Amino acid sequence: MPATVFDSSIFRDAFGSEGMRAVFSDEALVARYVEVEVALAKVQGALGLIPADAAAAIAKGADASKIDLGKLKTETDLVGYPIVGVVHQMQKQCGDAGRYLHWGATTQDIMDMATVLQVRAALDLVEADLRQIAIDLAKLADTHRGTVMAGRTHLQHALPTTFGLKAAVWLSMIDRHRQRLEQLRPRVLMGQFGGAAGTLASLKDKGLAVHDGLMTELKLETPCVPWHVARDGLAEAVAFLGLVTGTLGKIALDVMLLMQTEVGEAFEPFMPGRGSSSTMPQKRNPISAELIVAAARSVRQDVGLMLDSLAGADHERATGPWHLEWIALPRAFIATGGALHQAKFLAGGLIVDGARMRRNLDMTGGLIVAEAVMMALAEKIGRGPAHDCVYSACRKALEGGTMLLDELRREPKVTAVLDDAALQKLVDPAQYLGTADAMIDRVLAAHRAIG
């Protein structure tokens, strides 16, 4: 019976994704163990460390699909680690050749290598999802480059901006994560083979040849030295997931705030029944955004566990911190897969209400462009006097519930240097967008360069 949301038949697709769960399933993990053991035998057979015919028999006879997971659990509970149990079952599969399995290896070699193979597959899924989200955000940025809205600081109206620029900011973060992913692959996707204490002493003068050949066989990066207790690579992978889900959480928070009844400027894609309430028929809750935020907070805790493991790896073999990775790493990847799944749905069908954005812009009666008036007036009478003059007009508009334009028309210092046509242009939010359009172009150009 499932005990967590990641395995639950009810919640698993809310908090994870099918593809990521498959990467970290028991069956996939055991298949990776078997893959590494077979690769090791093939390399050692080619180097003459074990008989070539034994290596061939191992490659032919080993079958991960026939590993009995029940028996493996029983032996793992006894030993504390799964590799002894896997090797025992493989030996039976491979007959006499099975005595050459696991030659010169240690349990952590096989488990770490299998983990790296899982991480490689998982990062491929992350990469594909990030790319699709980036494509959708680029479309939003370009489509809505002219959709004017209130820029908000401290949750208050600040200056006009465009929804296109907001989407471009989101896109810039996603594209930086795509770059980070490519940069971290060589550091994370390193194989692991060091033997009992990292010296490969049991293989005598062929230790490094086996080591390097195994990396080539599995198409993994070749480290200079075993990393049994140097866990920075896997910690970096999960820290990267923390950055990714943190960005997705920021985007989701923005969407939730835009979906508030009082704001109503953007919405998650509509589906009948999506986000409905059991008692309030009018509700349209930000379900995907809420799940993304939950995932981001969950992954952030797993980043902490990975850093604990990194710092606690004592001497040449850690006494427990390694086990934290068994908990944190799969969970972080599955939660990230869930967040990415929800983000693809959100970004791919986000509903933007430009008309509501414009109405909200106008709700303060033109106060949102007070800076524009002040800067134009400053060119005529100086910044200090201009600030005081416009500040006074703003206070009168706020207190009287009037339009800023009307109050400006009553200020002799303003009308003496700015005619009515100039004032009407200055209080139009669409005329005070600065370099928003050029910035969108820059982000989109950078996005195209990444591909």
Residues taking part in catalysis: 154, 277
The burial class, CB within 10 Å (0-12 / 13-18 / 19+), for 10 is exposed
Q: Which two tokens stand for residue 162?
A: 């465009």
Q: Which two tokens stand for residue 96?
A: 């006499």
CA atoms within 13 A on the CB side of 376: 22
26-46 and 83-94 helices cross at what angle (nearest 10)?
60
What is each CA distance from 18 to 25, 127, 347, in whole angstroms? 10, 16, 20
- Rounded to whole angstroms, the Cα distance separating 186 from 223 reads 10
CA atoms within 13 A on the CB side of 236: 17
The burial class, CB within 10 Å (0-12 / 13-18 / 19+), for 409 is middle
- 198 Rama sector, left if φ>0, alpha if ψ -120 to 50, beta otherwise: left
- Rounded to whole angstroms, the Cα distance separating 351 from 340 reads 19
